[in-house]
Structures are given as structure tokens and as C-alpha cells.
């Protein structure tokens, strides 16, 4: 029988334990400002989850898909409608089913990947982005016939207890993101991930080795959009607290794509690093503009700087470090450990 969980080294387990303690104990005990939860930690974890989804399809399976925001919208609106229309459905159940609905869309729009690849696939998957948003806009049922088109997300209620304060919502997200990240790492390290990577590196060779392209590609699309769907539902229910198709436009898809590229293709921790960087960098710039220069720098210039820096970084990473910030982090870590070891000896 195949092992369900891959074997982990002691280092992995120590890392996990440290991260869990920081995430569940240290942060809730030390961070008290709502701003940190609602504007930084919550969107960061949500977008990191979506980035893991994009990572699976792009970084691991090598399919240039561009439609993460569309699947996020599918997940968000599915979750809203499930809670609205299915009485007594538990939040976690709704979240899972919305992930599955997004996965169904993923399979549907993953079908072209069997015929086209590279840039052509990117164009084909772009359709999913526009189709899902159009569908939600066009049919009033998805929005419960709200005239303005922006609906309020319901409160998260788990076992009769509402989770509405920033810290409670943060804990809900941690409870969802942690196992999903572990599963993603597990898949990436196991036979599933090896199949993905073999398709990525050379699909003809993979096929001749007995890897089914159809199954592998569609599986990757399904899992990827499942992650995006859950991330979208969490994003709408905890961060935006409202559902609006415009919030899931093509710009968000590109953002998720940049998170993958800057974070590092084919790495799970790169998803977190990339999401953190892209989300926090504008906040940091805006903060510097206001608190160091007191508005002496025009907001338009700050916004332009942001674009320039992203563009330059993208090019630099593409040329010098295609594996992204995750690789950079790894190298730094190895160097520091090497230094410490040298001193010891």
C-alpha cells in the first residue's frame, strides 16, 4: 500500500511546530490591533492560498493558466449561495462544496490544456476569467437579485458561534490554510507531484513513462481551482465582507500570477513569500509616503513607484533567479547555517 503521508524530516516537523506556535499562540497573544489582522494577515493568508492553487497548475504542472480570480469568484459566490439557500449548512461544509464547484469549473476550463499549450493555453484559460464573472453578472440569481450588484457576505457561524471579530476570523483562516498547505506540500512531494512535474518538464517523456496526461492535467486543474475557490470564499467572507464580481477582475488574476513568479515557481513557501511581498509592498510605500514624508510625495508618484519596482523586480527575477524569492531565502538560510557551523568548528 502506498503511504498516505510522505515522510517528513525532523527539520520539517520542527519548522511546522514553530510556525504553528507563532501563528496560533504568539500572534493572537501579541497582536491586538485590528488593522494587522484585517488588512495584513487575513488577506495575506487568503491570497497565499490562491497562490498555492496557481502554483500547482503553473509551477508544478507547467500549464500557463491565467484565471485564478475567476475561480476565486466562483468559490466566493458558491459559498454565498450555499449559505443563503441551504438551511443549516455548516460553514466549513459550504467552504468545501464551494471549492468543489470551483474545481468543476477548473476541469471544464482545463480541457483545452490537452490540445494547446504555452501562451495559447493562457489565452484559452483567460476565457474562464471572463466567463465566470460574466455569468455572475448576467444572471441575477447568483446575486440573489440584488439591484446594486454588491451583496453583503453572511457572518461566519461555526457550531452556533459567530466568528466576526478580526482575531476570530484570523483563527478560522489559519485553521483552513494550515491543513491545506500541508496537503499541498504532501501532494507536491508525493507521486502526484512527481507526475505533475514530469508533465511540466517533458510531457512526451512523461506519457511514454506511463503517466496519463489527461488525468494528470485535469487533476492539477481541479486541485488548483479547488484551492482558488476556497481562497476566494475566504477572501470575500473575511476580508471584503461583501461580494462583488468586479473585485475578482483580471487584475487580481495577474496579481496572483505575479505572486507565483516573484515567490518562486514550483515552491509552496514561495506562495507565502510572494503573496506577502506583493500585498505588503504597496502598503509599505504608502505608509512611508505618509509617515516619513507627510504627503510631500504625491500619491500618484508613490503609485507609479510601486509599478516601476514591480516591473523591475519581475525582470530581475526572471533573469537572475527564476526560482524567485523562495530560492533567495533558501540560499540565505544555507549561508547563515554554514557560517554558524564554520564558527562552531
Partner 1 sequence: MLAKTFKKLASTLTVVVALFSSLAIPQTANSAETQYFPIASSRVGPYSAMGTGYYGAQIDYLNYVNMTGGVNGVMLTWQECETEYNAVKTVECYQRLLEKDGQRIVVFDTLGTPGAYAVINRMAKDNVVLAQYGYGRTDGADGRVWPWVFNAASHYWSQIAVKLKFMAEIEGGIDKMKGKKIVHLHIDSAYGREPLPAMRKICADWGTELVEISIPPPGLEQQSQWLQIRKEKPDWVTFWGAGSGMNSTAMTNAARINFPRDRMMYVTFGAAEEDMYPAGDAAIGTYAVANALPGEYPLVKEIKNKVYGAGKGNLADESRIGSVYWNRGLGAAVMWIEGLRNAQKMHNKVGKAVNGAEFRDGYEAINMTEARMKELGVDGMLAPFAISCANHEGAGKFAVMQWDGKKFNQVTGWEAPLDPAFIRGLVEASAAKFAKENNITPKKC
Residues near partner 1, by CB under 8 A: 34-35, 38-39, 43, 137, 147-150, 152, 239-242, 244, 246-247, 283, 286-287, 290-296, 298-300, 302-303
Instruction: Specify whether the CB–CB gap between 46 and 75 falls below 8 A.
Output: no
State the minimum distance, in angstroms, from the CB of residue 274 to partner 1: 17
Helices (H), 111-146: 119-138
DSSP for 292-335 reads TSTT-S-HHHHHHHHHHHHHHHHHHHHHH-TTHHHHHHHHHHHH
Name the residue nearer to partner 1 (CB basis): 141 or 293.
293
Cβ closest to partner 1, residue 148 vs residue 341: 148
Spatial CB neighbours of 326, under 8 Å, sequence gap ≥ 6? 263, 264, 267, 269, 270, 273, 274
Comparing CA positions, the residue from 242, 245, 43, 42 lying closest to residue 153 is 242
Query: For the chain, what's the residue count?
Result: 345
Min dist CB 29 to partner 1, Å, is: 21
Least distance in Å: CB of 85 to partner 1?
13
User: Smallest distance from the beta carbon of 320 to partner 1, in angstroms?
Assistant: 25
Closest C-alpha among 166, 202, 217, 144 to residue 33: 166
Distance CA 67, CA 274 (A): 18
- Residue 242 in 3-state DSSP? strand
CB-nearer residue toward partner 1: 93 or 149: 149
Q: CA dihedral in degrees (228, 239, 73, 197; nearest 10)? A: -10
Q: How far is the CB of 166 from partner 1 (least distance, A)?
A: 9
Q: In terms of CB distance, is 217 or 244 closer to partner 1? A: 244
Which grid coordinates belong to 158? 461555526
Measured from the CB atom, is 139 or 293 closer to partner 1?
A: 293
Residue 301 or 339 with smaller CB distance to partner 1: 301
- Contact assessment for residue 2 and residue 191, using Cβ atoms and an 8 Å cutoff: yes
Do residues 216 and 210 make contact, with C-beta atoms less than 8 angstroms apart? Answer: no
Minimum CB distance to partner 1, residue 192 (Å) = 33
- 156 vs 247, beta carbon nearer partner 1: 247
Q: How far is the CB of 300 from partner 1 (least distance, A)?
A: 5
Amino acid at each position: 500500500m502506498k503511504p498516505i503521508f510522505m515522510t517528513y524530516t525532523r527539520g520539517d516537523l520542527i519548522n511546522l511546530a514553530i510556525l504553528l506556535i507563532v501563528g496560533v499562540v504568539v500572534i493572537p497573544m501579541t497582536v491586538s490591533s485590528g488593522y494587522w489582522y484585517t488588512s495584513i494577515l487575513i488577506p495575506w493568508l487568503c491570497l497565499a492560498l490562491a497562490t498555492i492553487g496557481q502554483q500547482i497548475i503553473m509551477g508544478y504542472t507547467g500549464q500557463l493558466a491565467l484565471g485564478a480570480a475567476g475561480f476565486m469568484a466562483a468559490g466566493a459566490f458558491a459559498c454565498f449561495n450555499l449559505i443563503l439557500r441551504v438551511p443549516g449548512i455548516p460553514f466549513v461544509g459550504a467552504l468545501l462544496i464551494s471549492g468543489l464547484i470551483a474545481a468543476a469549473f477548473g476541469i471544464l476550463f482545463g480541457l483545452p490544456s490537452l490540445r494547446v499549450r504555452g501562451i495559447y493555453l493562457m489565452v484559452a484559460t483567460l476565457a474562464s476569467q471572463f466567463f465566470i464573472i460574466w455569468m455572475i453578472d448576467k444572471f441575477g440569481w447568483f446575486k440573489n437579485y440584488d439591484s446594486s450588484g454588491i451583496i453583503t457576505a453572511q457572518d461566519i457561524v461555526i457550531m452556533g458561534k459567530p466568528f466576526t471579530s478580526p482575531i476570530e476570523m484570523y483563527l478560522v483562516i489559519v485553521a483552513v490554510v494550515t491543513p491545506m498547505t500541508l496537503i499541498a506540500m504532501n501532494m507536491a512531494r508525493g507521486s502526484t507531484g512527481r507526475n505533475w512535474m514530469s508533465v511540466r518538464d517533458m510531457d512526451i517523456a512523461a506519457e511514454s513513462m506511463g503517466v496519463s496526461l489527461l488525468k494528470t492535467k485535469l487533476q492539477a486543474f481541479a486541485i488548483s481551482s479547488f484551492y482558488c475557490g476556497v481562497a476566494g470564499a475566504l477572501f470575500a467572507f473575511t476580508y471584503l465582507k461583501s461580494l462583488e464580481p468586479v473585485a475578482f477582475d483580471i487584475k487580481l488574476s495577474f496579481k496572483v500570477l505575479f505572486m507565483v513568479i516573484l515567490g518562486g515557481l514550483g515552491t509552496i513557501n514561495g506562495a507565502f513569500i510572494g503573496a506577502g511581498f506583493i500585498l505588503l509592498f504597496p502598503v509599505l510605500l504608502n505608509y512611508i509616503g505618509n509617515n516619513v514624508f507627510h504627503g510631500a510625495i504625491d500619491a500618484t508618484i508613490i503609485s507609479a513607484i510601486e509599478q516601476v519596482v514591480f516591473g523591475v523586480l519581475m525582470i530581475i527575477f526572471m533573469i537572475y533567479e527564476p526560482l524567485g524569492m523562495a530560492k533567495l531565502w533558501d540560499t540565505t538560510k544555507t549561508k547563515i547555517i554554514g557560517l554558524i557551523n564554520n564558527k562552531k568548528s
